[in-house]
């Protein structure tokens, strides 16, 4: 059956994945050549509502406000960028077998543990809302809908679940290929990355779906949307109004520089 070898591996991978969503106005705005946005500190703002406070804690957010040179389309007045990193520990064990045709097969038990899923966000607003209206600003609330998607706790749990389900990795060795720590580590990391890509692809699809169904925040989210239960849980449970004045609803106001 081949010999056994016990390997330990601590792996950390910070994803380079960055995704953009934008809020747009139907009117053209003036260009902002040579300007850079400034960071807006939470300490300078009123206390956020409890629901938004939880979102801010779930996926740390940096706020930027003001015109910028790199906006591209001058109609864009809001944007969310996110980056997701993951971390895991792997205590991998492997064994070398032969299949029915005599080919060598490396079987790895990845032993994933201490799995972490960490989203971070930057929300940019072209125009800074007045302090007393900041947390009810329609552009910002649309961006918070994007935040709800990328901080959905079900995604983080699913990442851990899929790693556990796929902990056993079978790999057919090529002629001359030598099993060992280097190969085992790369196969474990490849499996983790495949799961990560699968879930971040889903987040990207949901981001695009939200913008498509709300015209980048200019229209309320339809109750028939597949995102409605995630983004409007109070309306689904009957504890709130159905998207009337809720986060991300309403028309994004057009403004000129």
Where in the chain are the domains?
4-237
Burial class of residue 25, CB neighbours in 10 A (0-12, 13-18, 19+): buried
169 pLDDT higher than 50: yes
Tokens of 98: 């032969």
* Angle of the 181-214 helix axis to the 153-165 helix axis, nearest 10: 150
The string of DSSP letters for 18-38 reads EEEEEEE-SS-----TT---E
Distance CA 153, CA 159 (A): 10
Beta bridge pairs of residue 13: 86
State the pLDDT at residue 69.
72
State the pLDDT at residue 101.
87
State the pLDDT at residue 70.
62
Tokens of 122: 């930057």
State the pLDDT at residue 31.
35
State the pLDDT at residue 81.
92
Query: 151 or 1, which is more confident?
Result: 151
Tens digits of residue pLDDT in 36-94? 889 999 899 999 999 999 999 998 999 999 987 765 677 788 999 999 999 999 989 99
Give me the chain's average pLDDT, please. 80
Distance CA 89, CA 8 (A): 8
222 pLDDT higher than 90: yes
State the pLDDT at residue 54.
92
CB 221 within 8 A of CB 232: yes
State the pLDDT at residue 142.
95
CB 29 within 8 A of CB 67: no
Distance CA 169, CA 173 (A): 12
Q: Are strands 112-125 and 61-65 parallel, antiparallel or unpaired?
A: parallel
2 pLDDT higher than 50: no
Share of the chain above pLDDT 90, in %: 64
Distance CA 192, CA 197 (A): 9
pTM over 0.75? The answer is: yes
State the pLDDT at residue 21.
52
Place of tokens 């001058």: 74
Q: What is the DSSP letter of 132?
A: G
Distance CA 166, CA 189 (A): 12
Query: 58 or 33, which is more confident?
Result: 58
State the pLDDT at residue 107.
96
């Amino acid at each position: 059956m081949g010999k056994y070898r016990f390997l330990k591996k601590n792996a950390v991978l910070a994803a380079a994945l960055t995704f953009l969503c934008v809020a747009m106005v139907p009117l053209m705005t003036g260009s902002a050549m040579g300007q850079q946005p400034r960071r807006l500190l939470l300490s300078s703002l009123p206390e956020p509502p409890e629901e938004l406070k939880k979102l801010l804690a779930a996926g740390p957010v940096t706020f930027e406000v003001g015109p910028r040179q790199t906006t591209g389309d001058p109609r864009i007045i809001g944007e969310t960028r996110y980056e997701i990193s993951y971390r895991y520990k792997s205590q991998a064990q492997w064994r070398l077998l032969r299949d029915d045709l005599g080919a060598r097969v490396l079987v790895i038990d990845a032993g994933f543990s201490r799995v972490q899923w960490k989203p971070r966000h930057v929300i940019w607003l072209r125009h800074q809302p007045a302090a007393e209206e900041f947390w009810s600003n329609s552009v910002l609330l649309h961006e918070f809908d994007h935040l709800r998607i990328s901080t959905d706790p079900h995604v983080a749990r699913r990442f851990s679940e899929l790693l556990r389900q796929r902990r056993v990795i079978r790999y057919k060795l090529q002629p001359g290929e030598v099993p060992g720590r280097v190969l085992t580590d790369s196969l474990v990391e490849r499996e983790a990355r495949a799961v990560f890509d699968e879930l971040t692809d889903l987040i990207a699809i949901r981001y695009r779906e939200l913008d498509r169904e709300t015209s980048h925040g200019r229209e309320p989210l339809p109750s028939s949307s597949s995102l409605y239960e995630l983004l409007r849980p109070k309306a689904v449970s009957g504890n709130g109004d159905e998207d009337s004045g809720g986060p991300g609803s309403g028309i994004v106001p057009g403004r000129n520089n």
